[in-house]
C-alpha cells in the first residue's frame, strides 16, 4: 500500500540500517563489555586507594584524614552503584527468561 506524500523505503535498506546501528560498539568505539570491564577496574582502583589510605591512617602516616574520608566515600558510592546496576541487569535477565515463547 502506498500513502501519498510519504517516501518509499526499501525493506532491505531498513534492515541494513537497523543492523548497522544495533551493534555492540558505541560512538567512541568501546563495546559494552569494554565499558563494564573499565567500570569494574575503576571500582577496584577506588577500593584499593581507600584501603591504602585507611592503612596510612591507622599507622599515623596520613597527613589529612579528610583525604581518607573522601576516598572511602567514593569507594562506597561506586560499590553501591555497581551493585544497583548488577541487580537491575539480573532483574531484566529474569524477566526475559520468564517470558513465554
Please list, in sequence order, all residues whose beta carbon lies within 8 angstroms of the beta carbon of residue 65, skipping any fewer than 6 positions away.
57
In a domain, 15, yes or no: no
Q: What is the pLDDT of residue 101?
A: 82
| pTM (global) more than 0.75 | no
In a domain, 86, yes or no: yes
Please list, in sequence order, all residues whose beta carbon lies within 8 angstroms of the beta carbon of residue 75, skipping any fewer than 6 positions away.
43, 46, 47, 49, 50
In a domain, 50, yes or no: yes
Specify the number of domains making up the chain. 1
In a domain, 56, yes or no: yes
Q: What is the pLDDT of residue 15?
A: 46
Tell me the residue range of the domain where 85 lies.
30-97
Q: What is the pLDDT of residue 36?
A: 86
In a domain, 65, yes or no: yes
In a domain, 69, yes or no: yes
Q: pLDDT truncated to tens, each residue of the chain (101 aa)?
A: 444 554 555 545 544 444 444 455 556 667 888 988 998 999 999 999 999 999 999 999 998 899 999 999 999 999 999 999 999 999 999 999 999 88
Amino acid at each position: 500500500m502506498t500513502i501519498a506524500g510519504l517516501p518509499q523505503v526499501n525493506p532491505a535498506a531498513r534492515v541494513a540500517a537497523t543492523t548497522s546501528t544495533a551493534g555492540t560498539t558505541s560512538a567512541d568505539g568501546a563495546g559494552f563489555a569494554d565499558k563494564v570491564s573499565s567500570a569494574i577496574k575503576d571500582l577496584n582502583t577506588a577500593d584499593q586507594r581507600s584501603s591504602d589510605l585507611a592503612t596510612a591512617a591507622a599507622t599515623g602516616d596520613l597527613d589529612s584524614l579528610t583525604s581518607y574520608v573522601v576516598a572511602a566515600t567514593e569507594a562506597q558510592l561506586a560499590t553501591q552503584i555497581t551493585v544497583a546496576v548488577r541487580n537491575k541487569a539480573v532483574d531484566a535477565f529474569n524477566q526475559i527468561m520468564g517470558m513465554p515463547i
